[in-house]
Structure 1
């Protein structure tokens, strides 16, 4: 692991990026990305992290304004305290979770800070994030998430376009009234492609008979069909449908992943590093799933090139046996804040440069910045 770090300053930067097209799920429709970036400055390097919280508390109770507030008011002061600084000097990024553990929740904020600190350490040491996490693959398969459309004809055109670009797996967002028929149409048009669906908690156990109508379509999985806290409901649903259940919002840590697997609530886990508190906890979830013979894959949260590159590094670990939401930059953004991440032959190359690899392009970053603040945490 890394050798420790002495932080001099932390920058919190809000940016606004328009999406190339509206992205609709059961939580609502997004037309732009209001993102919070964290830059950690040390004597040896700078490191970047991305907070994946949305503008509104719809996917999660965490939203971007609260994440910035909790960083300024509690998390950064804890890291800058004498005890926090000593822990970081001794243990580096792995100490972040322990220093911040007294503060309940706010995993997305904690993840952004931990990532930025880890990135700074690794850049100073000339080591890549993929290597640090235990990655083994040089490239990872790229899947793409397709939002809810107004018409099936539109959906088929969009899916066809992504397949032509080379994506090796299609994920369809579903909700009551937009589920069986869209899946049927995609299967009939495109045949035996790797296909899965994501419900984003839109159903209840009373919908089990209806969800079983998806079984004949040989889906890779159905993601998070029930509410995030309904672990027993997912275990019951697993006995009533044959499509494998994947949990997303329900998985907040290695502990909840182990509980879900033990209860029989899932066969597959979607790991989103921001949701679980960072990439180090994401690795622990990967290890728990692997120990139980369960597959994992890396989910996406409309990340910029900063978070997207880090996700690619995570997805290079051996237990990530299913294609993740590792789409190219232009899937969401006409112009990303980093050099664009591209797919080739259905795969994305794992960054091998120091830290996360890509860094923001200053000119672009300045254009999309809506606010920025530098917090001096140095000590004399």
Structure 2
């Protein structure tokens, strides 16, 4: 039995800019569980900075090392792990990294692909693309390239003061495309009149315009807009998803397994969304091929009805750490057929990008 980690620093092909900063590298912890001839993998979706949410790489690693690794070493089922880790408040991304490691392990133990182990897979994921903020001419070229490749939904990042420039240019050049926008919590309740003007751009949804932990103001805004609200950062548990729909704060939810504490809670949120006749899709956090394999597996489930941010990783990295990166065909990606998440690690690139490593048991 061995539980180990590697911290990687992977350069991005191009900087990825949102309302809270610009990423030029992906700094990520990868975890490896070896037991009974099975090797399972996961990654933590935190970053070096606590800008997306309250966790970062350092806080997550502290929680994993000092509280969660001892539970994982007993190789419980994911459900048992979630029950035993409930005494730790918050820290969903740390918990998710360990829970998803156990999902990969147990799916491999059962000899099943993760998508089938979870059940109700439709066999493919519909793919959209998320574009960071850039010079508008570069953005327009990236959109055309994405459409030429067959992406089923275009999402652009916006921020306060630049929404009109970005969305007007996109709509003027691409009046018919399936378009959404993501504000990453950049607006406040004082910006309602500005945000309401976004209705003119015929978006399939506007993602997380207000505070990262808010439901109340989103509920008020949603009642004043025709554009559906999609919540991302605000939905940190099935209970928050239930409250958001009860308060009519959203009609769409972006599921990120890491933000929700893992796959089990993600499945619960899907059930809640379905009960309210809402819509749901799978987001991304610039994951490596390891995290991407989890995302594609979850995005292939029947309850996921909108294209997600599950682009092939050649969009982000010149060289991924897996030998079998995903390929998109006609706007869809199929989850791996192998056991668990079905990845083949490229040891050369894993070694090249590793800046720290160790054993947790």
Alpha-carbon deviation of 1:78? 4.0
Instruction: Indicate conservation of the 8 Å contact 2:254/2:283, yes or no.
Output: yes
Q: CA deviation at 1:359?
A: 3.2
Counterparts of 1:118 and 1:44, CA distance in 2: 16
Partner of 1:4: none
**2: CA distance, partners of 1:93 / 1:204:** 38
> Partners of 2:108 and 2:344 in 1: how far apart?
11
- Contact in 1 for aligned 2:123/2:301 (Cα 8 Å): no
Please state if 1:352 is matched with 2:345.
no
Provide the residue aligned with 2:17 in structure 1: 24
1:327 Cα deviation (Å)?
0.3
In the other structure, the counterpart of 2:111 is: 126
Check conservation: 2:72, 2:102, Cα contact below 8 A. no
Q: CA offsets, 1:166-196, max 9 Å, x none?
A: 2111001000121122112111212211100
* C-alpha distance after superposition, 1:300-344 (max 9, x if no partner): 000011111111110111221110001011110011001221211
Distance in 2, matches of 1:375 and 1:306, equals 19
Q: Does 1:295 align with 2:279?
A: yes
Equivalent in the alignment of 2:155: 171
Alignment correspondent of 2:38: 45
Q: Distance in 2 between matches of 1:43 and 1:375?
A: 18
Q: Which runs of 4+ in 1 moved over 2 A?
A: 77-80
The CA RMSD over aligned residues, in Å, is 1.2
Does residue 262 in structure 1 map to residue 246 in structure 2?
yes
Given the alignment, which residue of 215, 231, 240 partners 1:231? 215
SS across alignment from 2:360: strand
Assess if the C-alpha contact under 8 Å between 1:45 and 1:121 holds in 2.
no
Structure-2-length-normalised TM-score: 0.97
**1:152 corresponds to 2:136:** yes
Q: CA deviation at 1:253?
A: 1.0
Distance 1:134 1:296 in 2: 17
Which consecutive unaligned segments of at least 5 residues does structure 1 have? 1-7
Structure-1 separation of matches of 2:360 and 2:189? 48
Secondary structure of the residue that 1:14 maps to in structure 2?
Answer: strand
Instruction: For residue 128 of structure 1, report the CA deviation from its aligned partner.
Output: 1.1
In structure 2, the gaps of 5 or more residues are none
1:141 lines up with 2:126 in the alignment: yes
8 Å Cα contact 1:133/1:280 also seen in 2 = no
Q: Does 1:36 align with 2:36?
A: no
Give the drift of 1:147: 0.6
- 1:139 Cα deviation from its structure 2 partner: 1.7
